[in-house]
Amino acid sequence: MIVILSGITGAGKSYLKKHIINKLNFKNIVIVTTRAKRIGEVEGIDKHFVTEEQFEELKNSGKISVPFEFLGHKYAYYTEDLLSDENAVTELHYSTIDEFKKVAKGVVSIYIKPNVETAKKQLKLRCLPKTIELFRLKEIKEQIKEFENNTNIQKKFDYIIANDYTDESLNNAVELIKNIEERSYVRT
């Protein structure tokens, strides 16, 4: 099973993912990107950082799948990770869910509905360049409106959960995934 966590910037995708990995022993599917590494990010843990040329080589050889661009950078996933039978978790923008599901096996998609003010505070903690921070703050507002008003986007998700960065939010997310995992192993 692959659990997709999706939501606006600052919703807590990484926050919840870390706890799912630790509490449920899920594998982290690490995205491949041409984006520069941010302070504190670790190669192979947070992302796989590659050059434009390396990205194109991986894409042309079929080693990566679900390529997309965001803020001028390229992203994709290692194909072998999407075809694995291991329980895994990753973060994904909702615009690529359909393509992801075409390649990956056993996908469960979860939208994280945040407290908007908390999401904005989390974004500001990233110490992004001011122009990018302003863009992302605007994006938060637009994406929330788009999600709330577009049932086609809402239908892409199997579950919608709330996150306010509390132990209760963490426990609810972990329990949901445990229950899904247990149901998927029940034989009839």
- Residue predicted with more confidence, 10 or 26: 26
Residue at 81 is within a domain: no
Question: What rounded mean pLDDT belongs to the chain?
Answer: 86
**Residue 105 tokens, joined:** 């096996």
**Residue 126 tokens, joined:** 């990233």
How would residue 187 be classed by pLDDT, with cut points 50, 70 and 90? very low
Is the pLDDT reported for residue 184 higher than 80?
no
pLDDT at 61: 96
The domain tally of the chain equals 1
Residue at 45 is within a domain: no
pLDDT at 94: 81
**Tell me: the pLDDT tens digits for 13-68?**
888 999 999 999 999 999 999 999 988 889 998 899 999 999 999 999 999 999 99
Residue at 155 is within a domain: yes
Name the residue with tokens 């290692």: 78
Q: What is the CATH number of the domain that holds 118?
A: 3.40.50.300
Residue at 44 is within a domain: no
Q: Percentage of the chain with pLDDT > 90?
A: 48
Is the pLDDT reported for residue 82 higher than 90?
yes
pTM of the model: 0.80
**Tell me: the pLDDT tens digits for 92-118?**
888 888 999 999 989 999 998 876 676
pLDDT at 105: 83
Residue at 114 is within a domain: yes
Residue at 67 is within a domain: no
Residue at 104 is within a domain: yes
Residue 14's domain spans which residues? 2-29+86-184
Q: For the purposes of burial, counting CB atoms within 10 Å of the CB of 65, is it exposed (0-12), middle (13-18) or buried (19 or more)?
A: buried
Least confident of 12-21, 83-92, 98-107, 140-149: 140-149
Is the pLDDT reported for residue 188 higher than 60?
no
Residue at 52 is within a domain: no
